[in-house]
């Protein structure tokens, strides 16, 4: 029986007051250390460098050697959590109305305002600080580490000191079988391992692999499109699913999602131009192949697997976490679409399944937020519906069949391109709900290192999407007495399985990637606490 993620993202306001007091001293020290380095580094930022704020990726035509160190690229993403308590995470949640991450966006806006850059935002004058959140500008030059100069790379901790810190914690009786890995993000070098090549059930840390694969296959700017087409001979309007589970039928558009209401309005306008007021309504779900059910069966953690659904087929107003779902998401979305057409004066028959042919002309389309935003949402909220959708998008991009087997083959193929260790690894789904998935801690740290590599700016949303300890997503409410705002990690929880994989900046400013996989756990609360203690120990480590 699957146990859902222990703490899905909820309103943060009740937690902020509790954690801010514990984090404030660290914030003050960090801000004081970072401020002079930002001032020194700003003039040296090469044009076109991928930045660490917002979700847009800018590729550099040529990455100068002095800027090609991984830790320079990722330190802002990894340390942004330490400045969140200044108000970047509020009860509004980690997303603004455009689907961007407000936590990192607002911090970047505040820093950028002193430089007078408009960054294409036409809502305000260049040099004038914005009144509220806006499109995230480029962040200041990437940090070199909290204690180093502009050209100094700090070596990561390693050897006996790090082993002495972690080994006792990872021998906790709360764990059964364990695979652990810690890597220096600046070099990719392994600095600690406890059976890092053991292939264990990863639970939701599988989503890290899914994220890396889909970004590799499609890039961060790709969008998922839902279409309405028209067969003129039969006056059939066909709603064509594009695999976007964030498509919304709600009146208030959440997080910049594509709107079924907007699509209906545009479709009605296009039909009116043709003089058509009455249509046969159908829907097309042929983008995916195979069955619609996950091997776990009907489960509140995800809807039926179909390329057409609205609001993840939720029967309540929630946007994340477990919820009861509509039995037939595609038919439900089509019925709602028909009702919206009626609101615009178009009479439609009750919908039925069909297939849009080459003869059908396009009436209207709506598109999802960029893939970078979808990946961030998937990781922060541990969104299983998005994970399965993105795995199938990977299969489609690779020319594989859009089912579980095709998605698994496509994900593996994309990871092989990156040269990461895949021995013993087995993919069975994109979300990690399937207990037959097998990943290693060594693979997860390798994927996190790749995500921070300036040679792969398209993978940056993997790092920025990781939940922030004590503040966002599935880490909300954890680390109240530890590394709140410093650890960023993806959780994984099934019955008898507890996992944690992410990044942390240690006491001396070194950026580390870590992964801890435990199976055979009998007390999930004790196992979770032990994992958090290990990550906190890394944050506090000045190990030599």
Instruction: Just list the catalytic residues.
Output: 204, 207, 382
320 closest CA partner among 94, 531, 85:
94
Q: How many CB atoms lie within 10 A of CB 497?
A: 26
Q: What's the CA gap between 341 and 277, in Å, rounded? A: 10
Which residues of 320-434 form beta strands (DSSP E)? Answer: 347-348, 352-353, 361-367
DSSP code for 103: H
Residue 221, beta-bridge partner list: none
**In Å, what is the CA distance from 488 to each residue of 3, 111, 159, 265, 503?**
22, 22, 24, 41, 5
Contact 194, 167 (CB under 8 A): yes
Residues present in the chain in total: 544
Torsion angle of C-alpha atoms 131, 136, 140, 146, degrees rounded to 10: 100
The 3-class SS string of 222-277 reads CCCEEEEEEECCCCEEEEECCCCCCCECCCCCHHHCCEHHHHHHHHHHHHHHCCCC
Q: What's the CA gap between 60 and 43, in Å, rounded? A: 17
Contact 513, 450 (CB under 8 A): no
**b/e code 209-245 from CB counts within 10 Å (16+ = b):** bbbbbbbbbbebebbbbbbbbbbeeeebbbbbbbbbb
516 closest CA partner among 165, 74, 169:
169
Quick check: helix, strand or coil at residue 183?
strand
Contact 194, 179 (CB under 8 A): yes
């Amino acid at each position: 029986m699957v146990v859902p993620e222990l703490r899905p993202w909820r309103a943060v306001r009740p937690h902020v007051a509790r954690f801010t007091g514990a984090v404030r001293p660290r914030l003050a020290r960090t801000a004081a250390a970072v401020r002079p380095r930002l001032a020194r580094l700003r003039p040296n930022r090469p044009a076109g460098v991928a930045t660490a704020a917002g979700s847009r990726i800018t590729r550099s035509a040529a990455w100068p050697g002095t800027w090609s160190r991984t830790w320079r690229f990722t330190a802002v993403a990894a340390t942004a959590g330490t400045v969140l308590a200044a108000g970047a995470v509020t009860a509004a949640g980690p997303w603004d109305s455009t689907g961007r991450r407000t936590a990192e966006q607002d911090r970047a806006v505040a820093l950028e305002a002193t430089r007078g850059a408009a960054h294409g935002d036409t809502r305000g004058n260049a040099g004038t600080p914005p009144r509220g959140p806006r499109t995230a500008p480029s962040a200041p030059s990437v940090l070199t580490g909290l204690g180093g100069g502009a050209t100094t790379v700090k070596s990561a901790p390693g050897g006996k000191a790090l082993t002495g810190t972690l080994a006792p914690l990872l021998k906790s009786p709360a764990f059964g079988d364990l695979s652990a890995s810690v890597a220096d993000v600046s070099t990719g070098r392994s600095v600690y391992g406890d059976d890092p090549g053991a292939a264990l059930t990863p639970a939701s840390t599988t989503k890290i692999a899914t994220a890396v694969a889909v970004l590799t296959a499609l890039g961060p700017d790709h969008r998922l499109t839902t279409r309405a087409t028209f067969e003129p001979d039969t006056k059939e309007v066909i709603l064509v699913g594009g695999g976007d589970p964030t498509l919304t039928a709600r009146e208030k558009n959440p997080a910049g999602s594509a709107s079924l209401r907007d699509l209906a309005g545009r479709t009605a306008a296009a039909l009116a131009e043709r003089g058509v007021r009455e249509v046969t309504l159908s829907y097309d779900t042929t983008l995916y192949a195979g069955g619609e059910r996950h091997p776990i069966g009907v489960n509140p953690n995800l809807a039926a697997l179909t390329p057409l659904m609205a609001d993840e087929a939720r029967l309540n107003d929630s946007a994340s976490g477990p919820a009861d779902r509509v039995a037939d998401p595609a038919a439900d979305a089509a019925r709602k679409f028909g009702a919206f057409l009626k609101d615009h004066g178009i009479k439609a028959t009750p919908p039925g399944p069909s297939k849009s042919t080459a003869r059908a002309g396009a009436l209207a389309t709506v598109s999802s937020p960029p893939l970078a935003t979808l990946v961030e949402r998937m990781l922060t909220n541990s969104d299983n519906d998005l994970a399965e959708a993105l795995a199938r998008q990977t299969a489609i991009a690779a020319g594989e069949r859009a089912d579980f087997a095709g998605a698994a083959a496509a994900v593996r193929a994309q990871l092989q391109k990156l040269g990461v260790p895949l021995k013993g690894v087995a993919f069975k789904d994109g979300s990690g709900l399937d207990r037959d998935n097998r990943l290693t801690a060594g693979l997860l740290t390798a994927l996190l290192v790749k995500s921070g590599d300036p040679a792969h700016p398209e993978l940056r949303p993997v790092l920025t999407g990781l939940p922030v300890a004590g503040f966002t997503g599935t880490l909300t409410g954890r680390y109240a007495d530890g590394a709140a705002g410093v650890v960023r990690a993806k959780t994984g929880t099934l019955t008898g399985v507890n996992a944690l994989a992410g990044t942390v900046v240690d006491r001396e400013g070194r950026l580390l990637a870590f992964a801890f996989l435990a199976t055979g756990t009998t007390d999930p609360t004790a196992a979770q606490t032990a994992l958090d203690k290990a990550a906190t120990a890394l944050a506090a480590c000045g190990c030599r």
